[in-house]
Amino acid sequence: MEQAYTITIEPTSNASIVKFEANQFLTNYDSFEYENIDQAKNSPLAQQLFHLPFVKRVFIAQNFVAIDKYDIVEWNDVQDEVAQQIETYLNSGKAILTATENTTKVPVTVYAESTPNPAVLKFVANKKLVTGTHEFKNIDDAKNAPLAQSLFHFPFVKEIFIEDNYISINKYDMADWNDITLELREFIKNYIEEGKEIINATQVQQVKQKEEQSVTDFDNLDDVSKDIVSIINEYIKPAVASDGGNIVFDSYDPASKRVKVILQGACSGCPSSTFTLKNGIENMLKEMLTGKVETVEAING
């Protein structure tokens, strides 16, 4: 059986601190800092880490554990062992945190932001909601995403796209944003504040498998296709994400010099997407890959 948790080692700007990032959330939007083993009485995971003699401080946040070390060791000598220890602990099913007496609501703010697609509104939270990219075309797609399932019970919700700290909602024409925005914003805000599950481990694992497959597929691409993927990821994805959407490389035909991309979230079905493709993405690829790209076509995700 494949493990639910995997850990990635991420250095920080502070040489004494290393982040051990998990592929799914560890806490419901809270962060904790422990200076010693006594302070960590509500975290069995942190207590275990303090048994390592070089651990000075432990931070547990939404999707990572960060450790500040004493100078007696170098991270290069111990970080792999620590990562394995954290991963093993998480996959053992033991508690990361235990209930505290003073449980308070998570302070959450959610605001609505327009997108280039008039049918899509972006609801942005001040907390990271998910890792990875999650697109749901209907309630069946959302069987492993409790928040998306709940949102589909609103009759005007057509499609849902969740990434990082925002939710893009595509509505049916039957409703006007002026009439439903406040209702949706309050629903999302209350849902997050109550600490309810947004996506479950099965959904996380499915997205992880897709990402792993994408890495394998990338390795098998020709050089031009690899260049196209790199340009999309570095220059185009950030701008598209700010509009509540996503863009994914689909294929490249060297004979016709045609690139196909998949549009998701607010970009899918957006009336301005053709203009964006022709005057933005296509021109950029033509300029950066002279003589190798002629046209870019979109496939709605």
The architecture CATH gives domain 7-92? 2-Layer Sandwich (3.30)
Question: What burial class does residue 140 get, using C-beta atoms within 10 Å of its C-beta: 0-12 exposed, 13-18 middle, 19+ buried?
Answer: exposed
* Domain ranges within the chain, ordered by starting residue: 7-92, 110-202, 221-300
| Residue appearing with tokens 């703010």 | 109
Say if strands 157-163 and 110-114 run parallel, antiparallel, or are unpaired.
unpaired
166-198 pLDDT tens trace: 999 999 999 999 999 999 999 999 998 888 888
Confidence of residue 261 (pLDDT cuts 50, 70, 90): confident
Is domain 110-202 in CATH 3.30.1370.70, yes or no?
Answer: yes
Third-level CATH fold of 221-300: GMP Synthetase; Chain A, domain 3 (3.30.300)
Q: What is the pLDDT of residues 101-144, one digit of tens each?
A: 443 445 789 999 988 889 999 999 988 888 888 989 999 999 98
Number of H helices, E strands in the chain: 9, 13
Written as six digits, the tokens of 19 are: 């982040």
Confidence of residue 203 (pLDDT cuts 50, 70, 90): confident
For residue 300, what pLDDT band results from cuts at 50, 70 and 90?
low
pLDDT of residue 162: 92
Give the whole-angstrom CA distance, residue 149 versus residue 138: 9
How far apart are the C-alpha atoms of 100 and 177, rounded to whole Å? 40
- CA 210 from chain centre, in angstroms, equals 13
Q: Which two tokens stand for residue 210?
A: 């897709």
Domains 7-92 and 221-300 in one fold: no
Higher pLDDT, 80 or 241: 80
Quick one: what percent of the chain has pLDDT higher than 90?
38
Which whole number is the average pLDDT over 55-79?
92
